[in-house]
Amino acid sequence: MHQSLSGEYDCKLDPKGRLVLPAKVKAALPATFANQLVLVRGFEPCLTLYPRAAWELIHAKVTALDEFNEENRQFQRNFFRGMTEVELDSIGRFGLPGSMRRYAGIEKDAVIVGLGNRCELWDPARYDDFLIKDMSQLSSMAQKFLATPLDTPGTPAPLA
């Protein structure tokens, strides 16, 4: 069993536009297809990096949408736009295509953020702009999303 992708890592691209995946992120990848990842445009101005197994679940959901529905086709077209399969080399490095770097505004520096089943790759300034600055807003979100156990909606969380 693999660990959850987590943490925040400052990284630098080499002159060829390659990025070394941090060792802790690489160690958390599932053993099956550990060097095979899928890079897509994020919903925010960032890139999303999925381990192969996690991507296959999402890919199946998106391709199962009714192709005769215009909204579904529009979503599929935009969701898969720029999707790139990447493979880590012997030192854990992978290339970021120029079109993907431009989309995310990534030039020389990047921030990799682990989000459980995936990582996001951000330009550091854009990432900072998207972070919540008002901790009371974060507190409200925590209450909304974490106040009840996930397996029994509406049940108060037990006191630890």
What pLDDT digit, counting tens, does each position of 114-156 carry? Answer: 999 999 999 999 999 999 888 999 899 889 888 876 665 555 5
d(CA 47, CA 79): 12
Q: What is the pLDDT of residues 68-86, one digit of tens each?
A: 999 999 999 999 998 999 9
Residue 107 has pLDDT above 50, yes or no: yes
Structural domain spans, the chain: 5-146
Angle between helix 52-63 and 70-80 (nearest 10)? 160
- The reported pLDDT for the residue numbered 110 is 98
**Side chain identity at residue 24, one-letter code:** K
Which tens digit of pLDDT belongs to each residue from 38-61? 999 999 999 999 999 999 999 999
Which pLDDT belongs to residue 72?
Answer: 97
Identify the band that residue 4 occupies on the pLDDT scale cut at 50, 70 and 90.
confident
Structure tokens at 14: 């080499």
Tokens matching residue 114: 């682990």
Say how far apart CA 160 and CA 145 lie, in whole Å: 18
pLDDT at 1 over 60: no
Angle 117-73-75 from CA coordinates, rounded to 5°: 40
Domain 5-146 has CATH 3.40.630.30: no
Three-state DSSP at 96 gives coil
Average pLDDT over residues 5-9: 94
Q: Which residue has the tokens 């979100």?
A: 141
Which residue type sits at 156? P
Residue 151: per-residue pLDDT: 60
